[in-house]
């Protein structure tokens, strides 16, 4: 699947997980359920979903994990968006006004004047049980108009956008019956439900514009959610393209909730990764000691996007560390360990990259600037697995429309497939 198709079919973490599972199963990975007993075979390929929003996939190595370790890589499926307050929908001056909450840290102004759709998970009662279903409205559902410059002469100086007051989305559905919530009505129509049966929703506004390729030689890709679906895509492609029957056990993990701190049941602070490792150890006949030994043999590549130098703001970077679009994946490190990379893990990934003939870049923040963080330090502190933080360079991180390089995407896939072969 191309990166464009992956982005377009994954508006939310729920949809991203579904896209991954169908890709993995098409490539011969057997879908396991976490509550079943597992009977895993060396060379076998398996995938598992946790609560529809976290995914793990693994290829069981020829060596037992306490001798060969796990070759791990992780990315995240969630991206900044606007979570809909569905019950608070109100008619206002002839249009439906949908209040929203920020999910993660979107750049507010980039969401104005864009065609938006609503997507996520619907929970409903069916034959006395709670069931869930993914749903997306399709394009043309809503927008958040900006205020005219004539009514705010300071707008180009950086007008404040208050999420409670200024980011309400206006639906394209006309106001006909003020007493009927048209979102719930549309859910009922689309999913063949009765309104009292809808018991919960988790719906997000996302830009509906599809990913676009720019440049004669297909250099750039523009899309929402490149952070971190580009790395999520690289992981699945790298795993599917790796050689069969590796010596070491390969494992890819796709977490949720990175944008909101990872402290959930499917985030990097959850036991998801460690439980997957433990189950593989148990299934191979090992116990607690073998799990501890396995961790000491393992490596985690924490893959999340990095800031490419912006030619209009080059002073934002340390001039000696200027990741550039198209020049390869970026190693991320930080003295305060906001990134997990240390000298040893940096050397290990450089060695893997040399063997895979992939050129790497490196970023250290300006010494007077704050630094972001990601899943690497969290997974590392939970398991003690040697970890490197890395990711492809991107412009406009957390914009509704980000920019990355397809050459870098190919390089990352090549690196991962080599790592797992």
- Residues lying near Zn ion in the complex (CB under 5 A) are found at 227-228, 304
Closest approach, Cβ 265 to Zn ion, in A, equals 19
225 or 295: whose CB is closer to Zn ion? 225
Closest approach, Cβ 141 to Zn ion, in A, equals 26
Tell me if 325 sits within 8 A of 393, measured CB to CB.
yes
Residue 195 tokens read as: 């309104």
184 or 253: whose CB is closer to Zn ion? 253
251 or 394: whose CB is closer to Zn ion? 394
CB hemisphere CA count around 239 (13 angstroms): 33
* CA–CA gap between residue 350 and residue 353 (Å, rounded): 5
Tell me if 400 sits within 8 A of 111, measured CB to CB.
yes
Closest approach, Cβ 231 to Zn ion, in A, equals 8
Closest approach, Cβ 23 to Zn ion, in A, equals 20
Cα angle at 248 between 42 and 47, to 5 degrees? 60
* CA–CA gap between residue 262 and residue 317 (Å, rounded): 27
43: helix, strand or coil: coil
* 172 CB-contact burial (10 Å; exposed 0-12 / middle 13-18 / buried 19+): middle
Closest approach, Cβ 258 to Zn ion, in A, equals 6
227 or 278: whose CB is closer to Zn ion? 227
Residue nearest to Zn ion (CB): 228
228 or 408: whose CB is closer to Zn ion? 228
Closest approach, Cβ 235 to Zn ion, in A, equals 13
Dihedrals phi, psi of 141, to nearest 5 degrees: -90, -35
Please identify which residue in the block is written with the tokens 């990872």: 262
Q: What is the DSSP letter of 210?
A: P
284 or 306: whose CB is closer to Zn ion? 306
Closest approach, Cβ 280 to Zn ion, in A, equals 27
* CA–CA gap between residue 313 and residue 49 (Å, rounded): 41
290 or 389: whose CB is closer to Zn ion? 389
Tell me if 59 sits within 8 A of 43, measured CB to CB.
yes
């Amino acid at each position: 699947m191309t990166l464009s198709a992956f982005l377009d079919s994954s508006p939310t973490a729920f949809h991203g997980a579904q896209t991954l599972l169908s890709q993995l199963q098409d490539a011969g990975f057997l879908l396991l359920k976490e509550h079943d007993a597992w009977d895993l075979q060396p060379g076998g390929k398996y995938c598992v979903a946790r609560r529809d929003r976290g995914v793990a996939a693994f290829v069981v190595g020829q060596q037992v994990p306490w001798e060969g370790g796990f070759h791990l890589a992780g990315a995240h499926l969630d991206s900044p968006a606007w979570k809909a307050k569905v019950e608070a929908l109100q008619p206002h001056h002839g249009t439906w006004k949908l209040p929203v909450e920020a999910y993660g840290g979107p750049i507010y102004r980039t969401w104005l004047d864009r065609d938006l759709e609503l997507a996520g998970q619907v929970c409903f009662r069916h034959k006395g049980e709670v069931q869930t279903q993914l749903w997306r409205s399709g394009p043309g559902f809503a927008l958040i108009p900006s205020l005219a410059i004539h009514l705010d002469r300071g707008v180009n100086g950086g007008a404040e956008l208050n999420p409670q007051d200024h980011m309400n989305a206006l639906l394209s559905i006309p106001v006909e019956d003020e007493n009927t919530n048209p979102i719930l009505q549309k859910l009922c129509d689309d999913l063949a439900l009765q309104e009292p049966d809808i018991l919960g929703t988790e719906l997000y506004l996302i830009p509906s514009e599809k990913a676009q390729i720019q440049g004669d030689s297909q250099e750039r890709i523009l899309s929402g959610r490149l952070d971190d679906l580009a790395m999520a895509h690289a992981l699945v492609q790298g795993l599917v393209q790796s050689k069969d029957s590796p010596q070491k056990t390969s494992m890819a993990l796709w977490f949720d909730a990175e944008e909101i701190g990872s402290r959930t049941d499917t985030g990097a602070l959850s036991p998801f990764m460690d439980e997957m490792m433990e189950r593989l150890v148990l299934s191979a006949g090992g116990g607690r000691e073998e799990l501890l030994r396995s961790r000491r043999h393992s490596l985690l590549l924490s893959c999340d996007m990095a800031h490419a130098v912006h030619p209009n703001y080059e002073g934002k970077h340390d001039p000696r560390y200027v990741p550039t679009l198209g020049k390869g994946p970026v190693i991320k490190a930080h003295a305060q360990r906001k990134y997990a990379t240390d000298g040893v893990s940096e050397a290990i990934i450089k060695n893997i990259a040399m063997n895979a003939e992939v050129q790497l870049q490196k970023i250290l923040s300006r010494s007077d600037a704050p630094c972001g963080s990601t899943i690497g330090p969290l997974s590392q502190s939970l398991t003690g697995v040697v970890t490197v933080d890395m990711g492809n360079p991107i412009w406009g991180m957390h914009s509704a429309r980000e920019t990355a390089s397809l050459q870098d995407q190919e390089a990352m896939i090549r690196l991962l497939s080599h790592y797992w072969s």
